[in-house]
Amino acid sequence: MVDQPNMDPWNYYENNRAKEYLEFAYSHNAPHPMARVQHTQSHVDIDSSKFIEYILKNKSTCQEKWFHPRDILSPESNIEMAFPLTVGLHQGNTYEYNWGLYGETREQLLNLIGSDNLTAMGFIPETVYPRLIVYMPGHGIPWHRDTMDAWKNKFPQLVDKTVARQLLMVSEWHWGHILQIDNDIISHWSSGDVFMIPVKHWHLSANQGVVPKMTVSLTGLLK
């Protein structure tokens, strides 16, 4: 998988590489391309420079990964994570740098965001699991649904509760930065904008620009 070559158009079209992926998505509530869903947006006050400082000072606690099946994930997650590999997505275009898993990074990020902001987003702060995510130019996370595996592992006592996922935009929108939720393609956001990503809804995030794209994925219970 690590040395998987880029997908070329001849292999893609001659072998109909997307067929199973699309059939799976449609059978699991992916909307038809002509449908349109509106998503909740709010805004909180943050200082993006402090997140950059955090990244530069905390290299040792960064998790580096790419989008593919892994032993630590649920069987449901791994089924879905295998499909992008069949259409040419691999380590060379889905590489991710994130904080929130190792050491004290969860607590550090919660402090960086601030309990007032978490409350303004509607969260119960003590139930929130944050992930600071950086995609460098040419990388992103493909069309997928969230299964909340990390949150469930962190809060097993709460798995019967209704969890929510919101995405806090840390960096200002820049050329080539894209967020898609269902069929809404979102751009031109401001630092501090927050988008609700409904559980089990399909979405993606990509950076085809020239500067890093920084976001914080927030998972937790709402008030």
Contact 191, 170 (CB under 8 A): yes
Closest CA to 197 of 175, 223, 179: 179
Beta-carbon contacts of 146 under 8 Å, excluding residues fewer than 6 positions away, are 165, 197, 199, 200, 203, 219
End-to-end CA distance of the chain: 42
Higher pLDDT, 74 or 178: 178
pLDDT score recorded for residue 39: 82
Task: Tell whether the model's pLDDT for residue 67 goes beyond 80.
Answer: yes
Beta bridge partners of 195: 41, 167
| Domains, in order of start, for the chain | 9-33+40-221 (2.60.120.10)
- Reading the block at residue 61, the tokens are 């606690």
Note whether 190 and 106 are within 8 A (CB): no
* pLDDT for residue 34: 73
Question: Would the pLDDT of 2 be above 60?
Answer: no
What would the DSSP string read from start to end of 92-111? TT--EEEESSSTTHHHHHHH
Q: Indicate the average pLDDT of the chain.
A: 92
β-strand partners of 134: 97, 214
Contacts of 71 (CB under 8 A, 6+ apart): none
pLDDT of residue 40: 80
Q: How many Cα atoms sit within 13 Å of 27 on the Cβ side?
A: 7
pTM above 0.75, yes or no: yes
Higher pLDDT, 129 or 12: 129
**Residue 10: its pLDDT value, please?**
80
Question: Predicted confidence band at 3 (pLDDT cuts at 50, 70, 90)?
Answer: low
Segment 157-200, tens digit of pLDDT: 998 999 999 999 999 999 999 999 999 999 999 999 999 999 99
The answer to whether the CB of 140 falls within 8 A of the CB of 204 is yes
> What pLDDT sits at residue 181?
96
Mean pLDDT for 24-34 is: 87
Largest CA distance in the chain: 54
Alpha-carbon distance of 22 to 193, in angstroms, equals: 31
